[in-house]
Amino acid sequence: MRVRLINPNTTQSFTRTLQTIAQGFAADGTIVDATSPVMGTPSVESHVEEAVAAIGVIEQVVAGDKAGIDGYVICCFGDTGIAAAREVTNAPVVGMTEAAFFAASMLAASFSVITLPPRTRIHSERVLRETGMAERCARVRAIDIPVLDLADEDEAVEAAFLDEARRALAEDHSEAIVLGCAGLTHLVEPLSRHLGVPVIDGVMVGLKMVEGLVTLRLGTSKRSSFAYPPAKGLTGVFAHLLDGHKG
Amino acid sequence: MRVRLINPNTTQSFTRTLQTIAQGFAADGTIVDATSPVMGTPSVESHVEEAVAAIGVIEQVVAGDKAGIDGYVICCFGDTGIAAAREVTNAPVVGMTEAAFFAASMLAASFSVITLPPRTRIHSERVLRETGMAERCARVRAIDIPVLDLADEDEAVEAAFLDEARRALAEDHSEAIVLGCAGLTHLVEPLSRHLGVPVIDGVMVGLKMVEGLVTLRLGTSKRSSFAYPPAKGLTGVFAHLLDGHKG
Amino acid sequence: MRVRLINPNTTQSFTRTLQTIAQGFAADGTIVDATSPVMGTPSVESHVEEAVAAIGVIEQVVAGDKAGIDGYVICCFGDTGIAAAREVTNAPVVGMTEAAFFAASMLAASFSVITLPPRTRIHSERVLRETGMAERCARVRAIDIPVLDLADEDEAVEAAFLDEARRALAEDHSEAIVLGCAGLTHLVEPLSRHLGVPVIDGVMVGLKMVEGLVTLRLGTSKRSSFAYPPAKGLTGVFAHLLDGHKG
Amino acid sequence: MRVRLINPNTTQSFTRTLQTIAQGFAADGTIVDATSPVMGTPSVESHVEEAVAAIGVIEQVVAGDKAGIDGYVICCFGDTGIAAAREVTNAPVVGMTEAAFFAASMLAASFSVITLPPRTRIHSERVLRETGMAERCARVRAIDIPVLDLADEDEAVEAAFLDEARRALAEDHSEAIVLGCAGLTHLVEPLSRHLGVPVIDGVMVGLKMVEGLVTLRLGTSKRSSFAYPPAKGLTGVFAHLLDGHKG
Amino acid sequence: MRVRLINPNTTQSFTRTLQTIAQGFAADGTIVDATSPVMGTPSVESHVEEAVAAIGVIEQVVAGDKAGIDGYVICCFGDTGIAAAREVTNAPVVGMTEAAFFAASMLAASFSVITLPPRTRIHSERVLRETGMAERCARVRAIDIPVLDLADEDEAVEAAFLDEARRALAEDHSEAIVLGCAGLTHLVEPLSRHLGVPVIDGVMVGLKMVEGLVTLRLGTSKRSSFAYPPAKGLTGVFAHLLDGHKG
Amino acid sequence: MRVRLINPNTTQSFTRTLQTIAQGFAADGTIVDATSPVMGTPSVESHVEEAVAAIGVIEQVVAGDKAGIDGYVICCFGDTGIAAAREVTNAPVVGMTEAAFFAASMLAASFSVITLPPRTRIHSERVLRETGMAERCARVRAIDIPVLDLADEDEAVEAAFLDEARRALAEDHSEAIVLGCAGLTHLVEPLSRHLGVPVIDGVMVGLKMVEGLVTLRLGTSKRSSFAYPPAKGLTGVFAHLLDGHKG
């Protein structure tokens, strides 16, 4: 089984880390294939960047289907381009955000999200609403750190998350923490040790959910909403976006 | 006052029609400026095409701000790329879909949407949910006609809409009809005459709402969610997307 | 085009101010006609006063239709008597409250309402629920000032609104402010200057929305819910309430 | 204990019937006092009539408090003027509509409402939304009979309700029927016998709920939302509306 | 009329108190019959205990029907086993929790619940959601006292409730207090005296609501959801649970 | 890794089938351990049976924890006793119903449930509401077959499901089918082949989700709502229910 983890941004170092960590959690026989678009945005912290990154996600799914990928995880909080991704494949496509919310709701009565930077709170809220998870989320909290600084200052990042998570437990009556950004898998262990509650990284949960769906031979429904897009000519820089997709 | 109507698809004939009709409804002193992206998709009937078209919408708003545009209407049912559009300007940005829903809810206790083709029903439902209008909408109905056939077969299109609208009034207890696609302004008069209820074209309502907001000097809030996107290097075909935007 | 702004209370000085300010924002060719009932309540700060004022609103719409009015704005936070008003006319009727909420939701991801006095918070909440805007409103805040003191103590009022609005931005993650009372148009400029976010006065937004609907020849649906009321004899002080209405 | 049943319309014959039937269901020691306004509307079938009738409801509560009434039931589907009524008394005020919904939800998993005439469906929907009962109501159905014809054609009315109720059970998966109008107590026995499910008349349920609240010395909260209205001069025909109320 | 108050836990002293207090509020002619299971749990403070107590509730309803009981009140916050209880009888079954919520919503615009211990907050939230009352509840608050300590330390309990209730009024904009546990009827008088708002004990409200339903000959619908359970052999300790039930 | 599939009813043949099928889908290294209570009910088709079965579920989790089980799946549509089960373990507990809903929502824009018998529709609706999935479910459909007949008449059952599923696709605009009962895994292949959309069996999805959570070392939060139940003496037949549980 081959599962593609799509990093919607262009920061290759993050893609490589994703590959390494995810392979460690994958089932025997699962080949993890982490990729990212060649062109786009180094991080996704705004709606504009989300729009740009969505094109890269489509591109990676179309390419993945040609390469025989069996399932996809979108590795950006906000599940960038997920509806479009579902259109171009009949493999399952899981968003790290929805996966995290579903897992959290099976482990705890309520959870808090800790995302970053603050302006992206609205992206979390959109996914909460779209997935039906809004009522289970006690609060979307945000830390004021740019995404690209995550790599550099691990200790400060961990401390900031720990502080905010403690506030979440004390003030929100939360019983689990959802990490609101990809690339934070290394925080799961220390945070859950300090906090004593489940700390959830949607990327890894998404990987396991996709593995499960593939094993059960469950793929994206091609009836109506996520049917392959109609064959019309995209033009300009988009002319080849759908070349050779299955539909 | 200059109001830009953004046709998110690349079908120029539709853009020209939009320009002509909208100028007729504009206030004295409003210059209507209908535009469309040079590259992209000839119509928006899928999530993939919506993702592609969103890039064109961003491009047209960035260009519009440089050209001194005072307000924008996104002229595609689904309000393609509206959150991203709001980020790159402090002018007001109105979606034709939300405008239609708000108008319908001020004129009638409940309304039905008639959209096309059937696979796009989910786009209407997304906007209904995002705008809070889901409870006021009795039903999203769809006609099985591709968007690009709208121009050619006016009589068949009118007949199909009339039939579906009559079913909506009879079966849904609807009291108004929302046209679920741009480019249908010419149906407003015959349909409302035959049906005896308000028939709402979101493009024209959007134009009037934007004119109102501009007159009142109300623009997009730049606090947090729709703040200008952070200055990071987009790359590849997106490298110049934000060149010269105001933020 | 003639647009009637209905002040549901009997305070004539407020009606005159409304007339002057609104005419300044009206389109060329729009005649603003601000009116108020002869009998009723000097302000609307309770459900009893709202019930009393609703009769005056009906009276002003019936009279307006006879006088050739093309559209109506109900100028009281709470949209006093709006469903009844819609029944007695086929012109569009817009409430200042719904208009403010719709505008706010097109300009910002979330807004706070600042209303007064505190006991009327429930009126705002009712309109939020009825219009579907509850999720977009971060919080309904209230200032403890009686409505009739608004005129006298402009500086204190401005200071109180500014303080409360600052708290709204800091504590509610709001990105726009809705003024929760008519008669506060003069606060829009100073508040938006100090706060740097859109500050919305529903009266002026309502005026522009009605102008738009009239231009597009869109009126209240007379099918079922807002059909003209059945012709039965009202008696006593209400005997002449509907005299000569169109239905 | 004295309980006032307020018939918001001016049809005295209906008020007398109400008195007789309700006294039969009242507890030992409860004096039922059915009243109606002297002036107003002979029935409530529109929002205008609801606005007119609300004034009569306020009047009857103010008068009732002076006469030593201990609790009130508003006997019109739609709970005419209930928020205003609650403001002018510290006795409990129960609406027949909310009472019917609450009872239905304690007796059955879901219920259908059968109201009349069709244009008033929106009034039922408003109360369902305001009371939180919308999810428990499978459907609001309507019969096309004017309220004032209810008295004359008992057999036709019973047959119409029975037909519609049978459709409700078959099509809506309903498990109880709520009668959507006052004055239908006599239908409870034959309908429940024929249908084999609970048939609920909100007037009688409201009477029993008010008796219960009075026995437990529970009255309307006077804190904030339903505090007595501020002492300002109502004018004209409303000048004496609040004369001598307790607040 | 015989009304059974079912204490789902095995603490007999509490059952006896319930009997005494409730008989005092019962109508002339109502015989109150308070019972509790012989085996089970001394209090209900967890989901496990709720599952155990539900068996006892079923047992008491089956026995009650054989003994000629006319209606039931489930006297535990959370309405333990209420759906199952409704299946085994055609008498009305009222939960103290839903009764309290309905009463509170007829007396005040919003209410706060004060429950205990904190881990049971989720039980209150479940009933709020199931009954549609979530929007009317400003907040579920909890006191950190085990249920079984309620009897011993009356003064401390009263003080703790009074403190928490004062916070509710000040911070939640609540206008009524719902006591979130059975066995607190004695707090109603002192708390309402100190707070000046309605304080609601669901047991007594439930008693009065059941009396009303029985008087009106309204019982549980046996159509579909609450039909008598199918006749299959329960085994082991459950073998006799349904012996002789009516269905 | 050892995963226990708990069949809440006492029908051993079903438990054995579950064991065999699930082992076939389990990951290398996962030992599937299907169990059922010794005493209880042969199937769960009512709330009474659900209450009885919940005791068995608790018993099996307590025993499972002693036997070193790493994760649990509750294999009954309705997720019998899931909150109580979560209290007595810190391993993850997944309900087949929630698992099916979450999977369906990741594969399709909307799904229909086909459950049985009709009276259990309300159980599905409860889980839809509790999990936030109500909006994603187009409709809960039911087939009129008793659970215990499922084994005997495979062809009739398959035909009934196929018919109902076809109606779901045609009438509900559904894009996936959720099988609303355990023990139907064998229908997944033929139904999905005939229908061309995902057909989802919650048991197998639940198994894969639990495997994923265990791999990621994620277990039930023991903070507040699902903390181990307090140590109080259960009595009678329940005296040993919690013996030796971990808390």
Q: Could you tell me the residue ranges of all domains in chain A? A: 2-95+204-238, 97-201
Is A25's Cβ below 8 Å from some Cβ in F? yes
Question: pLDDT value at position C246?
Answer: 65
- Tell me yes or no: is domain B2-95+204-238 CATH 3.50.50.60: no
Q: Lay out the sheet containing B199-200: strands in order across.
A: B137-142, B111-115, B177-180, B199-200
Question: pLDDT value at position D149?
Answer: 83
Q: φ and ψ at C73, to 5 degrees?
A: -125, 130
pLDDT digits (tens, 9 = 90+) for A101-152: 999 999 999 999 999 999 999 999 999 999 999 999 999 999 998 888 877 6
Contact A58, A85 (CB under 8 A): yes
Across the interface, whether the CB atoms of C27 and B25 are under 8 A apart is answered: no
Nearest chain E CA: its distance from A119 CA (Å): 28
Question: pLDDT value at position E203?
Answer: 98
C-alpha torsion angle, residues F10, F14, F19, F22 (rounded to 10): -120
Question: pLDDT value at position B247?
Answer: 64
**Tokens coding A91:** 């493999």
Closest C-alpha to C198, from C111, C98, C94, C97: C111
Residues of chain F with C-beta less than 8 angstroms from the C-beta of A94: 106
pLDDT at F47 over 90: yes
pLDDT category at A246 given cuts 50, 70, 90 is low
- Within 8 A by CB and 6+ apart from F123, the residues are F47, F50, F77, F78, F115
Quote the mean pLDDT of chain F.
Answer: 95
Question: pLDDT value at position A14?
Answer: 94
pLDDT category at F146 given cuts 50, 70, 90 is confident
Nearest chain F CA: its distance from E46 CA (Å): 6
pLDDT at A247 over 80: no
Per-residue pLDDT, averaged over C26-41, amounts to: 96
Quote the mean pLDDT of chain B.
Answer: 95
Question: pLDDT value at position B232?
Answer: 78
Question: pLDDT value at position E97?
Answer: 98
pLDDT digits (tens, 9 = 90+) for D155-204: 899 999 999 999 999 999 999 999 999 999 999 999 999 999 999 999 99
Closest C-alpha to F22, from F134, F188, F133: F188
Residue E238's Cβ-side half-sphere holds a number of Cα atoms within 13 Å equal to 25
Cα-based distances in Å from D152 to D147, D156, D157, D158 = 10, 9, 9, 11
| Euclidean distance between CA atoms C140 and C168, whole angstroms | 9
pLDDT category at D125 given cuts 50, 70, 90 is very high
F97-201: CATH topology: Rossmann fold (3.40.50)
Across the interface, whether the CB atoms of C229 and D39 are under 8 A apart is answered: no
Nearest chain D CA: its distance from E223 CA (Å): 6
Question: pLDDT value at position D247?
Answer: 64
pLDDT at E146 over 70: yes
Contact C14, C186 (CB under 8 A): no
- Within 8 A by CB and 6+ apart from D27, the residues are D1, D211, E27, E28, E215
**Tokens coding C235:** 């008696």
Is A47's Cβ below 8 Å from some Cβ in C? no
Nearest chain B CA: its distance from C45 CA (Å): 24
User: Which of left, alpha, beta for D224 (phi over 0: left; psi -120 to 50: alpha)?
Assistant: left
pLDDT digits (tens, 9 = 90+) for B177-190: 999 999 999 999 99
Largest CA distance in chain C: 55
Burial of D247 (0-12, 13-18, 19+ CB in 10 A): middle
pLDDT digits (tens, 9 = 90+) for B16-50: 999 999 999 999 999 999 999 989 999 999 999 99
Cα-based distances in Å from E10 to A75, D63, E16, E35, E66 = 52, 50, 11, 9, 21
Across the interface, whether the CB atoms of F173 and A224 are under 8 A apart is answered: yes
Question: pLDDT value at position D19?
Answer: 97
Closest C-alpha to B41, from A237, F104, D215, D146: A237
Is C47's Cβ below 8 Å from some Cβ in E? no
| Euclidean distance between CA atoms F228 and A11, whole angstroms | 44
Picking from B43, B54, B119, the nearest residue to A227 by CB comes out as B119
At least 3 CB pairs under 8 A between chains F and C: no
| Euclidean distance between CA atoms D217 and B180, whole angstroms | 55
CATH topology agreement for domains B2-95+204-238 and B97-201: yes
Question: pLDDT value at position E9?
Answer: 96
pLDDT at B95 over 80: yes
Quote the mean pLDDT of chain E.
Answer: 95
Closest C-alpha to E221, from D66, D143, C90, D173: D173
pLDDT digits (tens, 9 = 90+) for E75-128: 999 999 999 999 999 999 999 999 999 999 999 999 999 999 999 999 999 999
Per-residue pLDDT, averaged over F194-209, amounts to: 98
Closest C-alpha to A177, from A93, A108, A94: A108
pLDDT at F209 over 90: yes
Per-residue pLDDT, averaged over B186-215, amounts to: 98
pLDDT category at E231 given cuts 50, 70, 90 is confident
pLDDT at E232 over 90: no
Closest C-alpha to D237, from C56, E114, A31, B36: C56
Nearest chain F CA: its distance from A188 CA (Å): 10
The ipTM estimated for the assembled molecules is 0.97
Residue of chain E whose alpha carbon sits nearest to that of C129: E135
* Helices and strands (H, E) in chain A, number of each type: 8, 8
Cis peptide before A190 (omega within 30 of 0): no
pLDDT at E57 over 90: yes
Per-residue pLDDT, averaged over B134-142, amounts to: 97
Is D166's Cβ below 8 Å from some Cβ in B? no
Is D47's Cβ below 8 Å from some Cβ in B? no
Contact D213, D205 (CB under 8 A): no
- When scoring D47, D145, D224, D241 by the number of chain C Cβ atoms within 10 A, the one with the most, hence best to mutate, is D47
| Euclidean distance between CA atoms D87 and D247, whole angstroms | 9
Across the interface, whether the CB atoms of A196 and F131 are under 8 A apart is answered: no
At least 3 CB pairs under 8 A between chains D and A: no
pLDDT at F147 over 70: yes
Q: Using CB atoms, which chains have 3+ pairs under 8 A with D?
A: B, C, E, F
pLDDT digits (tens, 9 = 90+) for A179-221: 999 999 999 999 999 999 999 999 999 999 999 999 999 999 9
Nearest chain B CA: its distance from F208 CA (Å): 29
Is A122's Cβ below 8 Å from some Cβ in C? yes
C-alpha torsion angle, residues F213, F218, F224, F226 (rounded to 10): 40
Is C242's Cβ below 8 Å from some Cβ in B? no
For helices B96-107 and B121-131, angle between their N-to-C axes, nearest 10 degrees: 70
Q: What percent of chain F has pLDDT over 70?
A: 98
Interface of E with C in 90-109 (CB under 8 A): 109
| Euclidean distance between CA atoms F43 and F49, whole angstroms | 7
Cα-based distances in Å from E134 to D132, E129, F200 = 8, 5, 32
pLDDT at F245 over 70: yes
pLDDT at F78 over 80: yes
Nearest chain F CA: its distance from B141 CA (Å): 11
Q: What percent of chain E has pLDDT over 70?
A: 98
pLDDT at F77 over 70: yes
pLDDT category at F207 given cuts 50, 70, 90 is very high
Residues of chain B with C-beta less than 8 angstroms from the C-beta of C134: 132
Is B126's Cβ below 8 Å from some Cβ in F? no
Across the interface, whether the CB atoms of B39 and A236 are under 8 A apart is answered: yes
3-state secondary structure A14-36: HHHHHHHHHHHHCCCCCEEEEEC
Across the interface, whether the CB atoms of A107 and F98 are under 8 A apart is answered: no
Residue type, F125: E
Nearest chain B CA: its distance from C140 CA (Å): 17
E-F CB pairs within 8 A amount to: 137
Per-residue pLDDT, averaged over E28-37, amounts to: 97
pLDDT digits (tens, 9 = 90+) for A61-84: 999 999 999 999 999 999 999 999
Helix (H, G, I), strand (E, B) or coil at A184: coil
Residue type, F66: K
Per-residue pLDDT, averaged over E157-170, amounts to: 96
pLDDT category at B244 given cuts 50, 70, 90 is confident
- When scoring D136, D173, D175 by the number of chain F Cβ atoms within 10 A, the one with the most, hence best to mutate, is D173
Query: Could you give the angle at the alpha carbon of C189 between the alpha carbons of C185 and C195, nearest 5°?
Result: 120
Question: pLDDT value at position A222?
Answer: 98
pLDDT at D246 over 70: no
Residue of chain F whose alpha carbon sits nearest to that of B141: F173
CATH architecture of E2-96+204-238: 3-Layer(aba) Sandwich (3.40)
pLDDT at E150 over 90: no
Beta strands in chain B (DSSP E): 2-6, 31-35, 71-74, 93-95, 111-115, 137-142, 177-180, 199-200
Is F119's Cβ below 8 Å from some Cβ in D? no
Question: pLDDT value at position F148?
Answer: 80
Per-residue pLDDT, averaged over D202-225, amounts to: 98
pLDDT at C21 over 90: yes
